[in-house]
Amino acid sequence: MKIARYLPILDWGSRYNSTTLTNDGVAAIIVTIMLIPQSLAYAMLAGLPPEIGLYASILPLIAYAIFGTSRTLAVGPVAVVSLMTLTAASAIAPPGSADFIAAALVLALLSGLFLLLMGIFKLGFLANLLSHPVVSGFITASGIIIATSQLKSIFGIKASGAAMPELVSSIAATIGTTNIPTLIIGVSATAFLFWVRKGLKPLLMRIGLPARPAELIAKAGPIAAVAVSTIATIALGLEAKGVSVVGDIPQSLPPFSVPLIDLELWTTLAIPALLLSIIGFVESVSVGQTLAAKRRQRIDPDQELIGLGAANISAAFSGGYPVTGGFARSVVNFDAGAETPAAGAFTAIGIALAALFLTPLLASLPIATLAATIIVAVLSLVDLKTPLTIWRYSKADFAAMAATIGVTLLAGVEPGVIAGVGLSLALFLWRSSRPHAAIVGRVPESEHFRNVDRHKVFTDPRILTIRIDESLTYLNARWLEEFILEQVAEQKTVRHVILMCSAVNAIDASALESIEAINHRLDDGGISLHLSEVKGPVMDRLKRSHFLDQLSGKVYLSQNAAYSALIAIADNEDKADSPVDIWNARGLI
Amino acid sequence: MKIARYLPILDWGSRYNSTTLTNDGVAAIIVTIMLIPQSLAYAMLAGLPPEIGLYASILPLIAYAIFGTSRTLAVGPVAVVSLMTLTAASAIAPPGSADFIAAALVLALLSGLFLLLMGIFKLGFLANLLSHPVVSGFITASGIIIATSQLKSIFGIKASGAAMPELVSSIAATIGTTNIPTLIIGVSATAFLFWVRKGLKPLLMRIGLPARPAELIAKAGPIAAVAVSTIATIALGLEAKGVSVVGDIPQSLPPFSVPLIDLELWTTLAIPALLLSIIGFVESVSVGQTLAAKRRQRIDPDQELIGLGAANISAAFSGGYPVTGGFARSVVNFDAGAETPAAGAFTAIGIALAALFLTPLLASLPIATLAATIIVAVLSLVDLKTPLTIWRYSKADFAAMAATIGVTLLAGVEPGVIAGVGLSLALFLWRSSRPHAAIVGRVPESEHFRNVDRHKVFTDPRILTIRIDESLTYLNARWLEEFILEQVAEQKTVRHVILMCSAVNAIDASALESIEAINHRLDDGGISLHLSEVKGPVMDRLKRSHFLDQLSGKVYLSQNAAYSALIAIADNEDKADSPVDIWNARGLI
């Protein structure tokens, strides 16, 4: 049982048959065709030699097939994680250098270990810290940075930078050295890929193809761009005219690699690796959940952490770099009919064959073509509608999103994520520190109590009822003290305060301390504190403290009972002459 | 108006008369007598020359009298803040050195600026991050460290350390060098002060004194210990026998000092100063609120930040060190009848006179006597009952408290506070990420809906009602998706899901995204999603999104209406033959 929990392959593997084999095989062929140019392109985006993209698409896919729970998630290099790898490893060494490649391996290992540990200790909830506006803003800003960074390869210039200000000024400074043949290839490849994306499917459908095959053929557009631009480069001798090409790629299976064990390097890369793994996890899980729900399947986020962790660790030991589940390719895998994670393993075999036999054909592939595939892919990540929707829905969420986009664009990916998470958390804590509460009164001729500001209700000047609409925690405990004492200070006639606890699901130790303080302070001023509608579990816990012994008033089952009883007591008090009579009226003697 | 908000003195000053003057004057004399030995002792605890304690008790008191809102809070050096100053400044230079004193000034300036900024920007809610168990645990652990650290002066040995392991081993290593006359003074002063604390007041009351004067005379115990031990030291020539004494104290008013403007020093001290100011603020506000409530007065926490900020900034410019409101002396001030902050200003005059005229008398005061006053004062901070109470009440709160105590004792004050705040926050976020929710059914013959696990209720296998007992935020959005999809996966007969939102006070953008995803995923599986009892403000906000257009089901005003309508729809669906009929039954055509 225990082992099967960590090895989902035992579940689907036991029911594997020839039909699933056929379906998975077909899907694998289509994903392989899509993944070859993507792997090369994203490795280039990450500042790594192209073969590393292929290596990162072999063993990690097999590891995920064994440990992952999504039936259709396609794992491998993706754009945002590649950008994060570039940023983090650039802090160690210049892109492309041996130290840079070593840093990318360490990043894969560390993020794999983080994911694995989070999975084992069921810490997947940490990903909750990334709110939807933050993730959405981050992806949009990353998409803009990635697309801008690829302009250098489209123009054939040398520009660099991890955030927009550097990138733009660097492009502006070098635009004069544009290589015209490169620009022609880059622009036409980009235009072709945009057309493939938007226009090819309708065209294929017009000539009689059904929707799904038309869709899948359109996804093969990049491989066509690769083939045509490679042939053109060879035929026209464009390399001699200054067109940068991929160059020789070693013809081999992934090498066995051992990430450097270097404490200083690990310390430097720990935070980037953590951010990278959480961003990768959030993206991957949301793709996985969306696809699983379409077939009424479920994925297990904690086991997904283990699956992605295993994928990254295997990337670290097979010459790769950080990977995660990709959106576009997972959708293609799903649409192509993949039924089990075996499709991922078959894709790995396809990429391995490509690494062994196709690499010589890719030597003359222009880098501008790869840049075009990246630009077209990431511009679909740029989402300018969501900020508007969120602005209309919630200004606080918009603020978190705007901060993420702004800081990511101006300062880079890591500060961007940290700013977004920090601001979301600060806003959440701020909201939690001032919960909703209302002074309530009795709706005439009923037993219902409603907000005095919104309804015509009956209130007694001697009795103040405050309904708290949230659990009482240390974050709002001090607010509660201030709120109640302020209300009492404003209404000098009040002699009884009722806390209506119908919406209070928990009272933590700090809040209990505050309620005790409120009780004493009100008591010092001659005011009794009462509770009403306390929920069962909250009451059980209060009974374990001394609060109920010290409470100057009583706990009433219903607000109506409290109100009726206290009106009677107050009436008696009004007739009483001495404090003793008042205590008597309150049932304290 | 605006100015008066920031200058509470304008309020009480305008109503000042001769009665308040007399009352404040009497209180000031008593507090001055108490504060002289305390100021010297706490400066020594902070590793500073004794006169700095006196300086810190002059201008800061006047600044607080102008800007503070508590009528009776007595500001000055306190034990915990002194320990935090020692720890922070020790990272810069050895205690007592000129650089150390300069660092203490910078700490006062920085914490003053932090407090002032928090006050101006109304960020007092940040203090909420310190939960009651964390503050309580921190004070207890600090008390233990402080008392232990003073043993060195009681034994007349040279020991040091900022946390228990170092302190204890350092004391053990040097205990052989104990100075017997010092030990006799130290032990007898400690014993005398304990007796004064416990036994003097009952004795005075037995010989006929009323309770309040007896209490106040007992508070003067330390000044008696100071006088007697000083006289004994002079008379018996104990200084020559190795008894450490305070030594010459400059006979002067506070000097004008300018804290160093040194970016590196400021950066190093920023975090300690922030922690110190928040701890000081929390302590001060809780004392101030308790005393204010006894007279049905109010303090304004945001203005308190400004008052304490001004006090610390003035400490930085008058040769002092960080100050805050002290518990014991504020209670004495209150009991002695202080009516306005002018009592604090009069106390400052008293201390100034002491600094000018009494300092020569203090030269032969044994340090062991000051250590005894510190030990007796801080042992009252050590609270071993609260951990037990909290253990019974809440294991999570106990964990935060235990972590704070443990880390403070073992690693020191700053790691202790950070561990406590971090753990409290992590536990809060963890709890927030899995809110309470219940599957509910209809109570027979009623319109009420209750948890199926706790009540005998009616449920329809075709309809699943989930009541969410918390606001929906980004922290629990993913949980909500998983919870609902899991419930639906378990009950294959379900065709309608109702989210009962009676306890949902807010839905943020992430949660909205999740509900949209739930809606789509349920829809893909042929299940409609409905909402019931959505609160007004939540509904207003939902109307600003596209969610209601996409919702596969409907929004019902009451849960009962939802349930009845959906049973009827499900009955019609059961009679229907085609999907069109089902859509029709659902009112979608």
CB contact (8 A) between residue A470 and residue B393: no
CB contact (8 A) between residue B510 and residue A132: yes
Query: B-chain residues within 8 Å CB-CB of A420?
Result: none
DSSP string, B481-544: HHHHHHHHHH-TT--EEEEE-TT---B-HHHHHHHHHHHHHHHHTT-EEEEES--HHHHHHHHT
pLDDT-based confidence at residue A579 (cuts at 50, 70, 90)? low
Angle between helix B263-294 and B301-316 (nearest 10): 130
Q: Which helix (H) or strand (E) holds B438?
A: strand B437-442
Query: B-chain residues within 8 Å CB-CB of A521?
Result: 289-290, 293-294
Query: B-chain residues within 8 Å CB-CB of A517?
Result: 289-290, 293
Query: B-chain residues within 8 Å CB-CB of A486?
Result: 298
Give the residue from chain A lying closest to B477, CA to CA: A128
Q: How far apart are CA B166 and CA B172, in angstroms?
A: 10
Q: What is the β-pairing status of strands B75-76 and B463-468?
A: unpaired
In chain B, % helix, strand, coil (3-state, to 5) comes to 65, 5, 25
Token digits of residue A224: 């066509």
CB contact (8 A) between residue A429 and residue B129: yes
CB contact (8 A) between residue A293 and residue B476: no
Give the minimum alpha-carbon distance from A294 to chain B in angstroms, rounded to a whole number. Answer: 6
Tell whether the model's pLDDT for residue B580 goes beyond 60. no
Question: What's the confidence (pLDDT) of residue B43?
Answer: 95
Q: How far apart are CA A542 and CA A535, in angstroms?
A: 11
Question: What's the confidence (pLDDT) of residue B254?
Answer: 87
Global model pTM greater than 0.90: no
DSSP string, A213-269: HHHHHHHTHHHHHHHHHHHHHHHHTGGGGT--B------SSPPP------HHHHHHH
Give the residue from chain B lying closest to A299, CA to CA: B482
Helices (H), A295-366: 301-316, 327-335, 342-353
Give the minimum alpha-carbon distance from B286 to chain A in angstroms, rounded to a whole number. Answer: 9
Q: How far apart are CA B65 and CA B508, in angstroms?
A: 44
What number is the average pLDDT over the span A356-362? 89
ipTM of model over 0.90: no
Residues in chain B: 589
Question: What's the confidence (pLDDT) of residue A580?
Answer: 57
Contact A301, A124 (CB under 8 A): yes
Question: What's the confidence (pLDDT) of residue B584?
Answer: 55
The HSE-up count of residue A459 (CA atoms within 13 Å, CB side) is: 22
Contact B374, B50 (CB under 8 A): no
Q: How far is CA A461 from the centre of its chain?
A: 51
Q: How far apart are CA B402 and CA A472, in angstroms?
A: 21
Question: Greater confidence, B505 or A234?
Answer: A234
Tell whether the model's pLDDT for residue B9 goes beyond 90. no
CB contact (8 A) between residue B505 and residue A541: no
Tell whether the model's pLDDT for residue A484 goes beyond 80. yes
3-state secondary structure of A57: coil
What number is the average pLDDT over the span A86-106? 93
CB contact (8 A) between residue A525 and residue B393: no
Contact B452, B442 (CB under 8 A): no
Question: What's the confidence (pLDDT) of residue A128?
Answer: 83
Give percent of chain B above pLDDT 90.
51
Question: What's the confidence (pLDDT) of residue A171?
Answer: 93
Q: How far is CA A135 from the centre of its chain?
A: 5
* CATH architecture, domain defined by A437-585: 2-Layer Sandwich (3.30)
Backbone torsions φ then ψ of B357, nearest 5 degrees: -115, -25
pLDDT, tens digit, 9 for 90 and up, residues B190-204: 999 999 888 888 888
Contact A405, A388 (CB under 8 A): no
A128, A129, A505, best to mutate vs chain B, most B CBs in 10 Å:
A128
3-state secondary structure of A497: strand
Give the minimum alpha-carbon distance from B104 to chain A in angstroms, rounded to a whole number. Answer: 30
pLDDT-based confidence at residue B350 (cuts at 50, 70, 90)? very high
Q: Which bin fits A242, alpha (ψ -120 to 50), beta or left (φ > 0)? A: left
B126, B139, B478, B550, best to mutate vs chain A, most A CBs in 10 Å:
B478
A296, A433, A504, A518, best to mutate vs chain B, most B CBs in 10 Å:
A296
Q: Within 10 Å of residue A237's Cβ, how many Cβ atoms?
A: 11
> Residue A500: beta bridge partners?
A467, A532
Q: Which helix (H) or strand (E) holds B453?
A: none
Closest among A568, A566, A567, A589 to A578, alpha carbons compared: A589
CB contact (8 A) between residue A396 and residue B294: no
Going by C-beta distance under 8 Å and a sequence separation of 6 or more, which residues neighbour residue A305? A115, A116, A118, A119, A123, A124, A281
Going by C-beta distance under 8 Å and a sequence separation of 6 or more, which residues neighbour residue B566? B460, B462, B463, B496, B498, B530
Tell whether the model's pLDDT for residue B160 goes beyond 90. no
Token digits of residue A135: 């993730």
Going by C-beta distance under 8 Å and a sequence separation of 6 or more, which residues neighbour residue B268? B91, B92
From the list B290, B424, B485, which residue is nearest A293 (CB)? Answer: B485
Closest among B341, B282, B335, B317 to B75, alpha carbons compared: B341
CB contact (8 A) between residue A541 and residue B479: no
Q: What is the β-pairing status of strands B555-556 and B528-532?
A: parallel
Query: Which of B287-296, B411-420, B485-494 is predicted least confidently?
Result: B287-296
Tell whether the model's pLDDT for residue B578 goes beyond 70. no
Question: Between A and B, how many residue pairs show a Cβ–Cβ distance under 8 A?
Answer: 165
CB contact (8 A) between residue B545 and residue A133: no
From the list A478, A485, A503, which residue is nearest B128 (CB)? Answer: A478
Give the residue from chain B lying closest to A433, CA to CA: B125
Q: Within 10 Å of residue B578's Cβ, how many Cβ atoms?
A: 8
Q: Within 10 Å of residue B205's Cβ, how many Cβ atoms?
A: 14
Token digits of residue B493: 């007969």
Q: How far apart are CA B144 and CA B460, in angstroms?
A: 61
What number is the average pLDDT over the span A165-171? 92
Query: A-chain residues within 8 Å CB-CB of B545?
Result: 389, 392-393
Q: How far apart are CA B64 and CA B306, in angstroms?
A: 9
From the list A506, A510, A545, which residue is nearest B131 (CB)? Answer: A510
Question: What's the confidence (pLDDT) of residue A581?
Answer: 55
What number is the average pLDDT over the span B345-356? 93
Query: A-chain residues within 8 Å CB-CB of B390?
Result: 509
Tell whether the model's pLDDT for residue B276 goes beyond 80. yes
Question: Greater confidence, B530 or A380?
Answer: B530
User: Running DSSP on this structure, what letter comes out for residue B472?
Assistant: B
CB contact (8 A) between residue A428 and residue B512: no
Q: How far apart are CA A265 and CA B586, in angstroms?
A: 61
Q: How far apart are CA B371 and CA B369, in angstroms?
A: 5
Give the minimum alpha-carbon distance from B399 to chain A in angstroms, rounded to a whole number. Answer: 12
3-state secondary structure of B450: strand
Token digits of residue B427: 């536990």
Give the residue from chain B lying closest to A392, CA to CA: B544
Q: How far apart are CA A200 and CA A220, in angstroms?
A: 11
Token digits of residue B279: 């701890």
CB contact (8 A) between residue A489 and residue B298: yes
Token digits of residue B224: 């008696």
Give the minimum alpha-carbon distance from A312 to chain B in angstroms, rounded to a whole number. Answer: 24
Residues in chain A: 589
Give percent of chain A above pLDDT 90.
52
Tell whether the model's pLDDT for residue A12 goes beyond 80. yes
Question: What's the confidence (pLDDT) of residue B581?
Answer: 55
Give the residue from chain B lying closest to A290, CA to CA: B521
CB contact (8 A) between residue B474 and residue A392: no
Q: How far apart are CA A333 and CA A339, in angstroms?
A: 9
pLDDT-based confidence at residue A5 (cuts at 50, 70, 90)? confident
Question: What's the confidence (pLDDT) of residue B577?
Answer: 59
Tell whether the model's pLDDT for residue B242 goes beyond 80. yes
Question: What's the confidence (pLDDT) of residue B574?
Answer: 83
Q: How far apart are CA A443 and CA A459, in angstroms?
A: 9
In chain A, % helix, strand, coil (3-state, to 5) comes to 65, 5, 25
Return the domain boundaries, chain A. 37-426, 437-585
> Residue A458: beta bridge partners?
A442
Max CA separation in chain A (angstroms): 111
- End-to-end CA distance of chain B: give it in Å, rounded: 62
Q: Which helix (H) or strand (E) holds A320?
A: none
Closest among B3, B86, B1 to B41, alpha carbons compared: B86
Question: What's the confidence (pLDDT) of residue A165?
Answer: 93
pLDDT-based confidence at residue A578 (cuts at 50, 70, 90)? low
pLDDT, tens digit, 9 for 90 and up, residues A523-561: 988 899 999 999 888 999 999 998 999 999 999 988 999
B89-111 burial by CB neighbour count: b if 16+ within 10 A, else e?
Answer: bbebeebeeeebbbbbbbbbbbb
Token digits of residue B1: 């108006």
Query: A-chain residues within 8 Å CB-CB of B475?
Result: 128-129, 428
Q: Which helix (H) or strand (E) holds A356?
A: none
From the list B470, B486, B512, which residue is nearest A505 (CB)? Answer: B470
State the Cα torsion B532-B533-B536-B539 to the nearest 10°.
-10
Q: Residue A184: exposed, middle, or buried by beta-carbon count in 10 A (0-12, 13-18, 19+)?
A: middle
Query: B-chain residues within 8 Å CB-CB of A294?
Result: 521, 524
Q: How far apart are CA A132 and CA A363, in angstroms?
A: 41
What number is the average pLDDT over the span B518-528? 89
Give the residue from chain B lying closest to A506, CA to CA: B436
Q: Where are the beta strands (DSSP E) in B113-216?
A: none
Q: Within 10 Å of residue B291's Cβ, how many Cβ atoms?
A: 24
